[in-house]
Amino acid sequence: MEASCFNILNNYKPVLLVILLGTVGSCNVIFEEDITDKTVEVIIPSNNDTISSNQVHFKWNELYGATFYNLQIVQPSFDDISTFVLDSNISELEFYYPLNPGEYEFQIRGENAAYKSMFSGPFRIVIDSVSDLSSSVVPLLSPTDDYYSNATNFSYSWLQVFSADYYEFQLRSGNDFESSSTILYSATDIYSTSYSTPDGLYPTEGEYAWGVKAHNTTSSTDFSGYTIFIDRTNPNDPLASSPAHGSSFADTVVMKWDAGVDPGTINSPITAYIEIGADTLFTSLLTTYEVSDADSVQHVFTSIGTYWWRVYLEDEAGNISDYYSEHRKVVIE
């Protein structure tokens, strides 16, 4: 076993070594691949490409050992930067990004938790200032895609599309704009990049999709669509489950609760807020934990004494449980 561990260490550069003690002679090693002398192979765009669309498709081959990719875009060049357009980490092997007409350069590298590859590039691309909108898209801004809310109306916004004279807005039922044929509201001849809808368009909880398309005198884009989830139901009042009221501990306490099943039509992601105080009225809060996708939290007390804890729930749409859980006492001895 020792020889096997030595061979592993001899062949790779370890950045995180975890030795699980308790079993004599065992060896468990976690590594990150050293990619510092490698580069990412870019598929598209090619150097000096001219692109007749505002939606640029970046695509590259997988780099072994990379867990994500850092894509940088500047205008007009890395030697003479007027605008640093994008510096983003991307986990996929392709990426779409809208660019206005002009000259740009981009470069990309692979990264993992310990290493960064060399940059591929820079590559020069030109976005053509054509007036035909048929291959362009409207980049939507807010509300963001898959947005949870309890609002009754919204102010929608998007980025300007070059050569667009005006925009068209639609609200549809369902969570997929393209597949939905039920138009709940529409507006055209919008001459700005934002639009506010009237109250009453979201009468019930449910899934909705909003979209925008750009027009000029000779052409138009397709609709770009995002989804909104309307949730107006408060989460359940949480139930404290353990430890029992008045339990004693040396220092570490694991507090657990039950959130129940979300009663609404739309089940927004829920965050639990666990408050720990020095008195039953919580006038002196020691700390507050925010916990998502879990029903327990561990707290280490540093002083002996009597403490209290309670929980309330809030969902991503902004709805809050009507009441806290039971206030429970713990004694640190």
Q: What is the pLDDT of residue 30?
A: 57
Same fold, 42-127 and 239-332: yes
What is the chain's alpha carbon radius of gyration, rounded to the nearest angstrom?
27
**What is the tens place of the pLDDT at every residue in 291-308?**
998 999 999 999 999 999
239-332 CATH: 2.60.40.10
Fold designation for 42-127: Immunoglobulin-like (2.60.40)
Return mean pLDDT, the chain.
90
User: For residue 322, how many C-alpha atoms fall within 13 Å in the half-sphere facing its CB?
Assistant: 4
- Amino acid letter, 82: S
Percent of the chain with pLDDT over 90: 82
Q: From CA 313, how far away is CA 121, in angstroms rounded?
A: 48
pLDDT in tens, 57-96: 999 999 999 999 999 999 999 999 999 999 999 999 999 9
If you average pLDDT over residues 37-54, what whole number do you get?
Answer: 95
The one-letter amino acid code at 193 reads T
Instruction: List pLDDT tens digits, range 264-323.
Output: 999 999 999 999 999 999 998 999 999 998 999 999 999 999 999 999 999 999 999 999
Which of 108, 97, 27 lies closest to 57, judged by CA? 97
Query: What CATH number matches the domain at 140-230, 2.60.40.10, 3.40.50.10860, 3.40.640.10, 3.10.129.10?
Result: 2.60.40.10
Domain extent listing, the chain: 1-31, 42-127, 140-230, 239-332
